[in-house]
Structure 1
Amino acid sequence: MKTEKNKIEQNRRMETMCDTIFYPILILDSRSEIEKAKEFQILHYNWGGDYRPNTYGRMGVLRDKGLAVRMTCEEIPPEAVCHTNNGPVYQDSAMEFFFCLDSSRTGYFNFEINSAGAVLAQFGPDRAHREFLSGELLATCDCCVQVLEDSWQVDLFIPFSLIQEVQGKPGLTAGDRITCNFYKIRENPDQMHFASCFPIENPTPNFHLPQFFGNAVVVEAI
């Protein structure tokens, strides 16, 4: 009986999340306008741990072109062993962006980046059934990493052409909604941590749970 009540309560919370707009995605005329977008915080350390670097970011829609995301983590030094795209960047210190642009179609994207600029990018319906994006598709993205004195920053641009080829969604305009989550991670036992922007209710570490993505809406102004 207790288990059934727990399931009902979890379903109720998930339904409430689905009905709530968590984040406004500002339409931008250029990528240099990303600082006008609303800041989000990655502060839900869902599975404990003492290492909790301050991590935050912004997301916008570059008009008619694609998604722009900037994430910053205040940590030094951000270790990066992986220097190959689609390698295990999550073993290093990494920041990640998971999203789905069309809830009527099965599947979501995950983009994971370490401080060396290596990108792991996949698409699929769940953790066990994912396919890596090809080198040709990854080449259409732009990922720039800056390592500063007291922090490191990722600027990621994902063109709508990539999203359309993989998921069939041609673009985003004002009023469109997506689901997404942002993460800070290191799976290596040295400073292991798992942080998310929107909370995840799961007993073990797992970012691949789209039912816990937050809702966002595209807006012309904030």
Structure 2
Amino acid sequence: MLDTHPSIFVPHISEDISILDLNIIAKQLNTLKPHKLINSSWANFKTNTESSFNIAHLQDTLLLKFQVSETYFKSHARKTNDDVHLDNCVECFISFLDDENYYNLEFNCLGSLKVGYGEGRFNRKLLPEQILKSIKTLTKLQNDKTLNQFNWEILILVPIDVFVFSNLKTFRGLSAKANFYKCGDDLPQPDYLSWTFIDTLEPDFHQPKFFGDIFFS
């Protein structure tokens, strides 16, 4: 099934984040309809991996929760802005306010992260570690040996100030372009799943022309 240009209306969660813990936020996101990463865009990388994500916002915080079921585990606790895409990894690429540049937010299943900004794969500026320290994650891992499955999920809280090049004040009423991914370049069986279909010859997530529409309620 190909979904070339879908859209998402991102709900607002009204509770004050200061009085909630991450487990409560994760449970709230679980009540939302998940969006599946149904597109395996490259014939040479077909996979049994399944992944979905939930998305919401708190006016000043982007909330993401990915769930993944796959066969292999191969990840490392990495330094900030290291190559997390080599591991069991999920990603969100997003641009705001008709900006031709976009942010890439990448997380492995251990919570290591990489965040950059730019107009394409080869012209990116990595964000300073001091800014990225404000991003919070909560990960849960489960190895089901009976079914030969590695199941994991990650909750991600991204304060609006992380998007330093966009001068954003609130997510409320904002529109954006985005795509969401699951990958694992160094897994025994590499996989490349995306929310929208990507029409390129080789795996390449840095394709903003295939981003879908995001509308923040």
Normalised-by-shorter TM-score class: 0.7 to 0.9
Alignment of 1:59-74 (within 5 A): 59-62=55-58, 64-74=59-69
**What is the aligned partner in structure 2 of residue 100 from structure 1?**
95
Aligned with 2:11: secondary structure? strand
- Taking structure 1 as the reference length, the TM-score comes to 0.82
Q: Is the CA contact 1:66–1:160 (under 8 Å) kept in the aligned structure 2?
A: yes
Q: Which residue does 1:9 correspond to in 2?
A: none
- What amino acid maps onto 1:115 in structure 2? C
Moved more, 72-81 or 200-209: 72-81
CA-to-partner distance for each residue in 1:20-74, whole Å, 9 max, x for gaps? x621101012435222333100120011224231100100011x32100000101
Q: Percent identity?
A: 19
> Which ranges in structure 1 are unaligned for 5 or more consecutive residues?
1-12
Name the stretch that deviates more: 31-40 or 126-135: 31-40
- Map Cα deviations across residues 144-186 of structure 1 (whole Å, 9 max, x no partner): 22112441011111111222x2222222113x32111110111
Matches within 5 A, 1:44-123: 44-48=39-43, 49-62=45-58, 64-103=59-98, 105-123=99-117
Residue of structure 1 in register with 2:153 after alignment: 153
- Structure 1 residue 77, shift from structure 2 partner: 4.6
Q: 1:113 to 1:22 in 2, by over 3 A?
A: same
What is the TM-score of this pair, normalised by structure 2? 0.84
Q: Which amino acid aligns with 1:126?
A: G
Aligned counterpart for 2:121 among listed residues 108, 119, 127: 127
Higher helix share: 1
**What residue number does 2:13 align with?**
28
CA–CA separation in structure 2 for the residues paired with 1:157 and 1:189:
26
Structure 1 position 192, deviation (Å): 1.1
User: When the two structures are aligned, how many residues end up with a matched partner?
Assistant: 198
Query: What 5-or-longer segments of structure 2 have no aligned partner?
Result: 16-24, 145-150
Contact 1:78 1:93 in 2 (8 A): yes
* Whole-angstrom distance in 2 between the partners of 1:43 and 1:201: 14
**1:186 has 2:184 as partner:** yes
SS at match of 1:167: coil
- The answer (yes or no) to whether the contact 1:79–1:115 under 8 Å persists in 2 is no
Root-mean-square deviation over aligned CA pairs: 1.9
Whether contact under 8 Å (2:136, 2:156) holds in the other structure is yes
CA shift in 2, pair 1:77/1:129, >3 Å: same
Distance in 1 between residues matched to 2:28 and 2:168, nearest whole Å = 24
Q: Which residue of 1 aligns with 2:171?
A: 172
Contact 2:87/2:184 (8 A) holds in 1: yes
Gap change, CA 1:202 and 1:77, over 3 Å in 2: closer
Q: 1:190: how far off? A: 1.9
Q: Which amino acid aligns with 1:45?
A: S
